[in-house]
Amino acid sequence: MDIKKVGIIGTGTMGVGMAQVCAQAGIPTVAVKATPGTPERAQAGLEKSLARMVERGKMEAAEKDAIVGRIAFTTDEGAVADCDLVIESIIEDLDTKKALFKRLEGVCTPDALLTTNTSTLSVTSMMAVCEHRQRVAGLHFFNPAPAMALVEIIHAFETSESTVRALEAFCKEIGKDPVIVQDTTGFIVNRLLTPYLLSAVRLLERGTGDIEGIDHAMMSGAGHPMGPFALADYIGLDVVNAMAQNIYNDARTDHHNPPHTLTRLVELGYLGRKTGKGFYDYSSKPPTANPALKHPIS
Ligand SMILES: NC(=O)c1ccc[n+]([C@@H]2O[C@H](COP(=O)([O-])OP(=O)(O)OC[C@H]3O[C@@H](n4cnc5c(N)ncnc54)[C@H](O)[C@@H]3O)[C@@H](O)[C@H]2O)c1
């Protein structure tokens, strides 16, 4: 199956990033803002980040214009009717995603591929509300989508082999490196990464080491480009906490149960880099450990 046009629902971080990737590969793309309001902010955000790449000499101005020109930003879900592939990337909430899949079946042709970019929810549960289930799958990009090579293709219960093959070919066409995964909560990367990040928090709670010490040890001793606390702050502590909670709710594996320190930081609004404080305080350069964590909260 040839994918000539892609529809993306949700114009947040991942939606815009994936739209850029598709348009950069020359594929006309529709990006639908899924909540009230205009999509202008998302479009302006993309244009600004591409303009920065042009300034730094990493992209030609003509390429920037071509990418922007291939993406139609809209608020009309019906605009994906002639898309061969739809990727939903709205809020990580199962009921909201299921309702969207149900609506998409009414909008798209029966052989259009319907996919979700969910990080931790069951693709099979979304498939369950659909009539034409063979074309439903997961297409899990990583953040930032333009830079990260991996895409996990999620093979849910009734996903057909031809759907998986078409998605594999699509990923390669847009320059990504796909891996096929059976529908297990958290898939491969988040299923393995989450307990690692949570274990670092548990070591902190036990007093085994401090934030800087644990990060330093994993960089220097295990060859990781960032330590677990810097990585958690980069991903966003709300995202890590929700990811852990969703996997724990589904799999009941103790090592996915979020520790108190993480949950409390989220409650306090310390979400990592995006709020200026998480495990680290980013107001100082280089960042220093968040003083609130001098006395671990657990
Ligand atoms: N951020 C990541 O690192 C990452 C990586 C891979 C996959 N994902 C997944 O991608 C999806 C989107 O995440 P994101 O990081 O782009 O989030 P985001 O917060 O940047 O964007 C979320 C989008 O959902 C929309 N939205 C909010 N409430 C809604 C509602 N009630 N109904 C419909 N739409 C609503 C918002 O308008 C926004 O466009 C999620 O399923 C997430 O799990 C995120």
> May I ask the CATH class of domain 190-286?
mainly alpha
Residue labelled with tokens 């909260």: 297
Rounded to whole angstroms, what are the CA distances from 147 to 18, 87, 179? 10, 18, 17
Residue among 117, 122, 190, 241 flagged as catalytic: 190
C-alpha to C-alpha distance for 177 and 191, rounded to whole angstroms: 19
Q: Is 140 a catalytic residue?
A: yes
- Cβ–Cβ < 8 Å for 237, 272: yes
In this predicted model, what pLDDT tens digit does every residue of 155-211 receive, in sequence order?
A: 999 999 999 999 999 999 999 999 999 999 999 999 999 999 999 999 999 999 999
Q: Which atom of ligand 1 lies nearest, measured to the CA of 119?
A: 43
The pLDDT confidence band at residue 298, using thresholds 50, 70 and 90, is low
The pLDDT confidence band at residue 285, using thresholds 50, 70 and 90, is very high
Which amino acid residue places its CA nearest to atom 2 of ligand 1?
Answer: 143
Single-letter amino acid, residue 71? I
Q: Where are the alpha helices (DSSP H) in 153-206?
A: 161-173, 189-206
Task: Tell me the pTM.
Answer: 0.92
Whether the per-residue pLDDT at 297 is higher than 70: the answer is no
Domain with CATH 3.40.50.720 in the chain: 6-182
Fold of the CATH domain 6-182: Rossmann fold (3.40.50)
Q: Is the CB of 91 under 6 A from ligand 1?
A: yes
| 3-class DSSP state of 85 | strand
Q: Is 143 a catalytic residue?
A: no
Residue among 89, 117, 119, 125 flagged as catalytic: 119
Domain with CATH 1.10.1040.10 in the chain: 190-286
In this predicted model, what pLDDT tens digit does every residue of 27-74 receive, in sequence order?
A: 999 999 999 999 999 999 999 999 999 999 999 999 999 999 999 999
pLDDT value of position 293: 87
Which amino acid residue places its CA nearest to atom 40 of ligand 1?
Answer: 92
Average pLDDT, the chain: 96
